[in-house]
């Protein structure tokens, strides 16, 4: 009982079908045991859920920007940070799938339901979520941006700043989880756990030098 | 106050409002209690297996001890929640079949991680069915379980790409 069946919560199996959600949501959702028929006239989410989802999506987009900047400054951290960045792209996609109204109702963003969540990250227009480390406009070499401080101290500082951003996002998701309906609360609880885990890993990596 | 045969709807004598639990909430919270009973048992087994392994097992022993304490606290908090709502929480089994036998430091860490994966998944299933203080308890339980599982895997030298989950509790 992954989705709790309250208004639009996807079951685990529906979540597995994420990339195809925009095209085949009807069949997949039905196959996953959800009796609602969503895609044609998707009901508006409860206002508390829309607000919580918007705040969560904003936090995820901010994190994508932070990660892109850190990866550009510190290519040596790309392997570590690229994997975590991909999680945030996945988080945005999960939010957009569960709250399709995000695509039209987000005033400041460009989340596209079911599409590539990376499209909303301005710093990586090519947006390959699976290989984010490779892309950040560094022709030829894996060196840092010209003029950027890529010293070990600067790297440790970048990791600490990302950990702080992750903890702030975790707090945002926790508050959203407590405010949301039972349909959205599980996803926000999972996102909260994910950002807390990211912060812990970043802190460990930073203290390990 | 003594729990009555009906779900408690009167204000709690302790001052914190106890939301009435519907049948689905009771089922989900009871399932989580059962998971925690097993986790207490499993964490104790891991700690006992690690006890004689000396300095090389020190970090793992610390994780086992912390996991035991955390699972016991969550079990007790959930049990109190169910009792306050007039429900009957499940008792522990006398013994459990462990998913991994903690025959080495690595196996003990794997066991601890898998126990916390189950806590996270069961918390994910329950968190949307409750409100207020109960939801706070469970959203925090999910995050703490995910953190412990990740720490156990990293301590076992699992790569971060595998140890760090994108959506803890959900997949």
Q: Which residues of B touch A (CB under 8 A)?
A: 24, 28, 120, 123-125, 127-129, 135-136, 138-140, 142-143, 145-147, 150-151, 154, 160-161, 163-171
**CA-wise closest residue to A182 among B139, B34, B166:** B139
Residue A136 pLDDT: 43
Q: Which of A169, A145, A160, A140 is nearest to A63 (CA)?
A: A169
Instruction: Tell me if A4 sits within 8 A of B131, measured CB to CB.
Output: no
- From B142, B164, B167, residue closest to A201, measured CB to CB: B164
Listed range (A10-14, B147-151, B156-160) with the worst mean pLDDT: A10-14
Chain A: closest CA distance from residue B143 (Å): 4
Question: A93 touching B, CB under 8 A?
Answer: no
**What topology does CATH give the domain B23-163?**
Ferritin (1.20.1260)
* Shortest Cα distance, chain A CAs vs residue B49, angstroms: 27
Instruction: Give the separation between CA A78 and CA A85, rounded to whole angstroms.
Output: 10
Please, which pLDDT band fits residue B145 given cuts at 50, 70 and 90?
very high
Which two tokens mark B67?
A: 């996991």
3-state secondary structure of A23: helix
The answer to whether the Cβ–Cβ distance between B143 and A4 falls below 8 Å is no
Instruction: For residues A152-167, give the mean pLDDT.
Output: 96
Q: How sure is the predictor about B19, in pLDDT bands with cuts at 50, 70 and 90?
A: low
Let me know: does B71 contact B115? Beta carbons within 8 Å: yes
ipTM score here? 0.90
Nearest-by-Cβ selection for A94 from B142, B151, B167: B167
A177 interfaces chain B, CB cutoff of 8 Å: yes
- Is the predicted pLDDT of residue A189 greater than 80, yes or no? yes
- Per-residue pLDDT at A83 exceeds 50: yes
Q: What is the Cα gyration radius of chain B?
A: 17
Which domains does chain A possess? 46-133+149-207 (1.20.1260)
Q: Which of A7-21, A65-79, A103-117, A145-159 has the lowest mean pLDDT?
A: A7-21
């Amino acid at each position: 009982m992954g989705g709790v069946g309250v208004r639009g919560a996807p079951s685990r199996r529906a979540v597995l079908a994420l990339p195809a959600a925009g095209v085949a949501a009807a069949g997949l959702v039905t196959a996953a045991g959800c009796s609602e028929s969503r895609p044609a006239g998707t009901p508006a989410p409860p206002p508390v859920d829309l607000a919580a989802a918007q705040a969560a999506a904003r936090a995820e987009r901010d994190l994508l920007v932070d990660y892109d900047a850190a990866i550009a400054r510190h290519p040596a951290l790309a392997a570590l940070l690229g994997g975590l960045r991909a999680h945030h792209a996945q988080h945005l996609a999960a939010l957009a799938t569960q709250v399709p109204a995000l695509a039209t109702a987000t005033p400041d963003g460009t989340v596209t339901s079911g599409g590539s969540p990376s499209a909303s990250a301005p710093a990586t227009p090519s947006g390959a979520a699976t290989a984010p480390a490779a892309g950040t406009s560094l022709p030829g070499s894996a060196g840092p941006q010209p003029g950027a401080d890529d010293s070990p101290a600067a790297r440790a500082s970048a990791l600490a700043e990302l950990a702080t951003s992750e903890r702030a996002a975790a707090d945002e998701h926790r508050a959203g989880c407590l405010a949301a309906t039972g349909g959205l609360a599980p996803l926000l609880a999972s996102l909260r756990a994910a950002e807390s885990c990211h912060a812990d890993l970043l802190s460990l990596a930073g203290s390990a030098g | 106050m003594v729990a009555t045969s009906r779900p408690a709807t009167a204000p709690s004598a302790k001052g914190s409002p106890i939301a009435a639990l519907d049948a689905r909430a009771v089922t989900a919270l009871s399932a989580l209690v059962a998971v925690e009973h097993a986790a207490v048992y499993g964490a104790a087994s891991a700690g006992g297996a690690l006890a004689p392994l000396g300095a090389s097992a020190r970090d793992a022993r610390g994780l086992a001890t912390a996991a035991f304490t955390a699972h016991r606290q969550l079990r007790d908090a959930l049990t109190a929640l169910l009792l306050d709502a007039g429900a009957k929480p499940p008792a522990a089994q006398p013994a459990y079949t462990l998913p991994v036998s903690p025959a080495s430091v690595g196996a003990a860490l794997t066991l601890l991680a898998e126990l916390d994966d189950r806590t996270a998944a069961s918390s994910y299933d329950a968190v949307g069915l409750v409100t207020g203080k109960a939801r706070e308890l469970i959203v925090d339980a999910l995050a703490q379980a995910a953190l412990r599982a990740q720490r156990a895997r990293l301590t076992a030298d699992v790569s971060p790409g595998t140890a760090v989950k994108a959506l803890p509790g959900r997949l």
